[in-house]
Structure 1
Amino acid sequence: MIALTLILFLALLFAGMPISFVLLGSAMSYFLFNPIAPSIVAQRMSGSLELFPLLAVPFFVFAGAAMARGGIADRLYGFAEALVGHWRGGLAQVAVINSLFMGAMSGSSNADAAIDARTVVPIMRKQGYSNGFASAISACSGVIAPVLPPSIGLIIYGLLTNTSIGQLFIGGIIPAFLIAAALMITVHQVAKRRGYGALRPHRMPVREIAVKARHALWALAMPFLLLFGLRIGLFTPTELGAIAAAYALFVGLFIYRGFTFGETYELARESAHTTANVMLIIATSAIFSVVLTLEEVPQTVVGYLVDMTDNKYVALALINVLLLLLGTVMEGLSLMVILAPLFLQVMQRFGIDPIHFGVVLIVNLTIGSVTPPIGSVLFTVCSITKCSIEEFTRESIPLLMALIVVLFLITFLPATVVFLPRLLF
Structure 2
Amino acid sequence: MEVIILFSVFLILLLVGMPIAFALGIASMSYLLMEGISLTIVPQRMYAGIDTFVLLCIPGFVLAGNLMNVGNITEHIVRFSNALLGHIRGGLGLANVGGSMIFGGISGTAVADSASIGSVMIPGMARSGYDKPFAAAVTAASSTVGPIIPPSVPMIIAGSLSGISVGRMFLAGAVPGLLMGLAMMITVYILAVRRGYPKEKRVPVLQLLREAKTAFWALLMTVIILYGIIGGFFTPTEASIVASLYALVVGMYVYKGLTWRKLPGILVDTVLTSSALLLMVGLANLFGWILTSEQIPQMIATLILSISENPLIVLLILNLILLFVGAFMETIAALIILFPALVGVATGVGVDPVHFAVIAVLNLMIGLTTPPVGVCLFVVAGIGKLPMLTVARAIVPFLLCNLAVLMLVTYVPAISLWLPNLLMGSN
TM-score range, shorter chain: over 0.9
Q: Which deviates further from its counterpart, 104-113 or 27-36?
A: 27-36
| AA aligned opposite 1:209 | L
Secondary structure, aligned partner of 2:130: coil
Query: 1:273 aligns to what?
Result: 272
| AA aligned opposite 2:337 | I
- 2:78–2:117 Cα contact (<8 Å) kept: no
- Tell me how far apart the structure 1 counterparts of residues 34 and 342 of structure 2 sit (CA, whole Å): 27
- 2:172–2:355 Cα contact (<8 Å) kept: yes
| AA aligned opposite 1:285 | A
Deviation at residue 205 of structure 1 after TM alignment: 4.7
Query: 2:404 aligns to what?
Result: 405
Query: 1:371 aligns to what?
Result: 370
Deviation at residue 391 of structure 1 after TM alignment: 1.8
Q: Are residues 1:93 and 2:94 paired?
A: yes
- Tell me how far apart the structure 2 counterparts of residues 16 and 121 of structure 1 sit (CA, whole Å): 27
Cα shift readout 1:296-330 (whole Å, capped 9, x = no counterpart): 11111111111111112211111111222222222
| AA aligned opposite 1:316 | L
Query: What aligned pairs does 1:196-275 form with structure 2 within 5 A after superposition?
Result: 196-200=197-201, 202=202, 204-275=203-274
- Tell me how far apart the structure 1 counterparts of residues 198 and 30 of structure 2 sit (CA, whole Å): 58
- Tell me how far apart the structure 2 counterparts of residues 268 and 316 of structure 1 sit (CA, whole Å): 41
- 1:68–1:106 Cα contact (<8 Å) kept: no
Query: What aligned pairs does 1:385-404 form with structure 2 within 5 A after superposition?
Result: 385-404=384-403
Q: Are residues 1:161 and 2:171 paired?
A: no
Deviation at residue 82 of structure 1 after TM alignment: 2.0
| AA aligned opposite 1:407 | L
Query: What aligned pairs does 1:178-193 form with structure 2 within 5 A after superposition?
Result: 178-193=179-194
- Tell me how far apart the structure 2 counterparts of residues 288 and 140 of structure 1 sit (CA, whole Å): 30
Deviation at residue 206 of structure 1 after TM alignment: 4.2
Secondary structure, aligned partner of 2:146: helix
Secondary structure, aligned partner of 1:145: coil
- Tell me how far apart the structure 2 counterparts of residues 152 and 327 of structure 1 sit (CA, whole Å): 16
Deviation at residue 211 of structure 1 after TM alignment: 2.0
- 2:343–2:356 Cα contact (<8 Å) kept: no
Deviation at residue 351 of structure 1 after TM alignment: 2.1
- 1:107–1:145 Cα contact (<8 Å) kept: yes
| AA aligned opposite 1:213 | A
- Tell me how far apart the structure 1 counterparts of residues 88 and 74 of structure 2 sit (CA, whole Å): 21
Deviation at residue 38 of structure 1 after TM alignment: 3.2
Query: What aligned pairs does 1:258-337 form with structure 2 within 5 A after superposition?
Result: 258-337=257-336
- 2:343–2:357 Cα contact (<8 Å) kept: no
Deviation at residue 36 of structure 1 after TM alignment: 4.3
- Tell me how far apart the structure 2 counterparts of residues 344 and 359 of structure 1 sit (CA, whole Å): 11
Cα shift readout 1:174-198 (whole Å, capped 9, x = no counterpart): 1111111111111111111111132
| Structure 2: tracts of 5 or more residues without a match | none
Deviation at residue 8 of structure 1 after TM alignment: 1.6
| AA aligned opposite 1:347 | A
Equivalent pairs counted in the alignment come to 423
- Tell me how far apart the structure 1 counterparts of residues 57 and 121 of structure 2 sit (CA, whole Å): 30
- 2:149–2:178 Cα contact (<8 Å) kept: no
- Tell me how far apart the structure 2 counterparts of residues 300 and 138 of structure 1 sit (CA, whole Å): 39
- Tell me how far apart the structure 1 counterparts of residues 108 and 147 of structure 2 sit (CA, whole Å): 5
- 1:108–1:145 Cα contact (<8 Å) kept: yes
Cα shift readout 1:233-256 (whole Å, capped 9, x = no counterpart): 111111111111111111111111
| AA aligned opposite 2:361 | I
- Tell me how far apart the structure 1 counterparts of residues 283 and 211 of structure 2 sit (CA, whole Å): 46
Query: 1:4 aligns to what?
Result: 5
- Tell me how far apart the structure 2 counterparts of residues 40 and 123 of structure 1 sit (CA, whole Å): 51
Q: Are residues 1:152 and 2:153 paired?
A: yes
- Tell me how far apart the structure 2 counterparts of residues 295 and 217 of structure 1 sit (CA, whole Å): 53
- Tell me how far apart the structure 1 counterparts of residues 190 and 347 of structure 2 sit (CA, whole Å): 41
Cα shift readout 1:198-255 (whole Å, capped 9, x = no counterpart): 212x4x4544322211111110101111111111211111111111111111111111
- 2:83–2:208 Cα contact (<8 Å) kept: yes
| AA aligned opposite 2:196 | G
Secondary structure, aligned partner of 2:209: helix
- 1:88–1:191 Cα contact (<8 Å) kept: yes
- 2:32–2:38 Cα contact (<8 Å) kept: yes
- 2:314–2:346 Cα contact (<8 Å) kept: no
- Tell me how far apart the structure 1 counterparts of residues 356 and 312 of structure 2 sit (CA, whole Å): 11
Secondary structure, aligned partner of 2:185: helix
Query: 1:130 aligns to what?
Result: 131
- Tell me how far apart the structure 2 counterparts of residues 180 and 98 of structure 1 sit (CA, whole Å): 10
Deviation at residue 40 of structure 1 after TM alignment: 2.0
- Tell me how far apart the structure 2 counterparts of residues 328 and 147 of structure 1 sit (CA, whole Å): 18
| Structure 1: tracts of 5 or more residues without a match | none
- Tell me how far apart the structure 1 counterparts of residues 51 and 325 of structure 2 sit (CA, whole Å): 29
Cα shift readout 1:2-25 (whole Å, capped 9, x = no counterpart): 122122222222122111111111
- 2:145–2:181 Cα contact (<8 Å) kept: yes
- Tell me how far apart the structure 1 counterparts of residues 153 and 398 of structure 2 sit (CA, whole Å): 24
Instruction: State the TM-score, normalized to the length of structure 1.
Output: 0.96
Query: 2:176 aligns to what?
Result: 175
Cα shift readout 1:38-82 (whole Å, capped 9, x = no counterpart): 322221111222212222211111011111221111211121112
Two-structure CA RMSD over aligned residues (Å): 1.4
Secondary structure, aligned partner of 1:17: coil
